[in-house]
Amino acid sequence: MEATSPLKGLAFGAIASCLAEIATMPIDVVKVRLQMQGADGTKQFTGMLDAGIQTARKEGVAALWKGLPPALVRQAFYGGLRYGLYAPIRNLMGVSDSTPKSEIPLYTKFAAGGTSGALAAFLATPTDLMKVRLQVDGMKGGPPRYRGMAHCFASIVREEGAFGLFKGAGPTMGRATMLAAVEMSSYDEIKTQLVKHHIITPGTISGVLISSLSSGLLCALTTSPLDVVKSRVMGQPVGPNGKGTLYKGMLDCFVKSVKHEGFFALYKGFFPNWGRLGPRGVICFVTMEYLNKTFR
């Protein structure tokens, strides 16, 4: 699904990622809120549907798109870099443009996807932080803390310092590395094997759908623990000293979450996570395939 040039790959990746983000944002808001639930010892929602209904009823339907502005800015960079750098990095590992996909080793695809994901995630951490903060803002009732993306940005810098914008960078990069590695390599590999065994036809919507949903399931299974930790570290309340009041960092969050809520606390929000990754993958890959085919 790579473009004919790195620049096109970056542009197509950004467009595809932004379209997917708009379409799946309500699922992402529900996912993050379910992941945050229990961090402070309280339970607010009974499940995915209840979280969506309560959010819409108490805060308005528009609340299901909370955090969209920073999410789009994030995807313009993160999505563009993640998809756009995949093929160039893979080629730097010794793969030629003329090499058939069926002959490219899976570990090469995995390494290329992970590297592109890590680089993209680090650069996009400030926008990811603002997105999570806005998504959980008002979750416990009361007036919103932030008036929007600009106010959120200014508040974080004022209260937590410039480096506060990179809070949660560790789990963010860890999740992104695993997500990109699994998604990019598994989609490529699944699609290649399905075509090779004549199960799907290249370039068809059904082929992309099957490959994307399968890839999305693998992504949700492997990245959910890091995704929960990312949401909790980024979304936790902040004290007067600019530090989180619940967790000291990534490892502390892992330990406390499992200790107080059990191992499966790391899989909170799993179904909306998969429910988002599947359709999101379909939108991204279909859009990328279309743009690459149309603008060769």
Q: How far apart (Å, rounded) are the C-alpha atoms in residues 20 and 287?
A: 9
Contact call for residues 156 and 164 (beta carbons, < 8 A): yes
Q: What angle do CA 275, 146, 165 make, to 5 degrees?
A: 75
Burial class of residue 166, CB neighbours in 10 A (0-12, 13-18, 19+): middle
pLDDT digits (tens, 9 = 90+) for 45-93: 999 999 999 999 999 999 999 999 999 999 888 877 877 788 888 889 9
Contact call for residues 67 and 134 (beta carbons, < 8 A): yes
pLDDT digits (tens, 9 = 90+) for 252-263: 999 999 999 999
Looking at residue 63, its amino acid is A
Which range among 17-26, 102-111, 152-161, 165-174 shows the weakest confidence by mean pLDDT? 102-111
Confidence check: pLDDT of 279 > 60: yes
Q: How far apart (Å, rounded) are the C-alpha atoms in residues 237 and 137?
A: 10
pLDDT digits (tens, 9 = 90+) for 222-248: 999 999 999 999 999 999 888 899 999
For residue 1, the model assigns a pLDDT of 53
pLDDT digits (tens, 9 = 90+) for 183-215: 767 877 888 888 888 888 876 777 877 887 888
Higher pLDDT, 182 or 3: 182
Mind giving me the DSSP string for 261-290?
H-GGGGGTTHHHHHHHHHHHHHHHHHHHHH
Confidence check: pLDDT of 139 > 80: yes
Residues facing residue 238 across a β-bridge: 244
